[in-house]
Amino acid sequence: MERKQGIDSFGAVVLVLFSALLGLNQVLVKLVNAGMHPVFQAGLRSACAFVPVFIFALLMRRRLSLTDGSLWPGIVVGIFFALEFTLVFVGLDYTSVARASVLFYTMPIWVAVGAHFLIPGEVLTPRRILGLGLACVGVVVALLVNDEPASDNALTGDLFCLAGSVLWAAIALLARTTRLSKSSPEMQLLYQLAVSAPLLILGALWAGETWREPTAFILGVFTFQVLVVVSIGFLSWFWVLSVYPAADMAVYSFLAPVFGVIFGYAILSESIGWNVLAALFLVSAGIALVNSRRTVK
């Protein structure tokens, strides 16, 4: 599909829905952590999601190639994907969904910073620099103030989620600046799933931690993650990335941390303190400013 110069109405709808799905995903991961070790969950999810994504790509006759120059960047992206989800899934074992959402979904900020240096025409304007500053203040507030930590390792969990957001941004930038950009969205996702699945599962087996206390409910939530969050959600995200400008792809992504906080409160009955709300406001405002170069058409 021809690349677009800005976000149109259809792209905006896809991004809003994906942001809601991302917010819900943090709750789902935390729920499944009760039945599986986080690293094992991440690896098993990648392995299971590979099949429906591969079948979809074949049925839709998407271009799948290992000889178009995308193999090595695809492997690197897969390794980053494995590291990202190790950090985030383990982080959610330690910290709350609300805090994890605020920190992990700073990803568009780091994409905009990287795009400034790596992608011609996507520069940090004064407005975007202001947004970056607001988001950074929000991150500091979230990290330094935690009146009700979810565990003794809450700060570690917060830092893991923040590091995961940087890795996610790196994946987005690699998908734009390497030969991986010539691959279909399905191929990009298959690289990530194929590389991350064995790395994560073997890592969990090596550590001797796989199953915890699985139930039918937890397995049902895990199935929803595989079919909806990964197979549909991330395919949609990679499609958006392949069509729209990198710095604009998350024009509404400030909603992702908002949805995460809402779902954490509504489903897990998490306590939402002033520090989380302040960090949420600052990060969301910062993301909105950073991604305000173009308007929806």
In this predicted structure, what is the pLDDT of residue 35?
96
CB 110 within 8 A of CB 169: yes
Of the candidates 175, 282, 182, the one whose C-alpha atom is nearest the C-alpha of residue 237 is 175
Distance CA 168, CA 163 (A): 9
Is 1 among the domain residues? no
Is 227 among the domain residues? yes
Across all residues in the chain, what is the average pLDDT?
89
Of the candidates 286, 270, 290, the one whose C-alpha atom is nearest the C-alpha of residue 278 is 286
Q: What total number of domains does the chain contain?
A: 1
Distance CA 184, CA 168 (A): 18
Across the range 171-199, mean pLDDT stands at 93
Across the range 268-286, mean pLDDT stands at 92
Is 134 among the domain residues? yes
Is 61 among the domain residues? yes
Of the candidates 226, 252, 249, 238, the one whose C-alpha atom is nearest the C-alpha of residue 46 is 226
Question: Is 60 exceeded by the pLDDT of residue 20?
Answer: yes
- Domain of residue 239 covers 9-290
What's the pLDDT band for 295 if we cut at 50, 70, 90?
Answer: very low
Is 4 among the domain residues? no
What does each C-alpha distance from 31 to 125, 147, 159, 228, 290 come to in angstroms? 40, 23, 20, 16, 32
In this predicted structure, what is the pLDDT of residue 296?
42
Q: Measured on CA atoms in the order 62, 65, 69, 74, is the torsion positive or negative?
A: positive
Is 2 among the domain residues? no
Which SS3 state, helix, strand or coil, does residue 285 take? helix
pLDDT digits (tens, 9 = 90+) for 223-241: 999 999 888 887 777 677 6
pLDDT digits (tens, 9 = 90+) for 116-141: 999 888 888 899 899 999 999 999 99
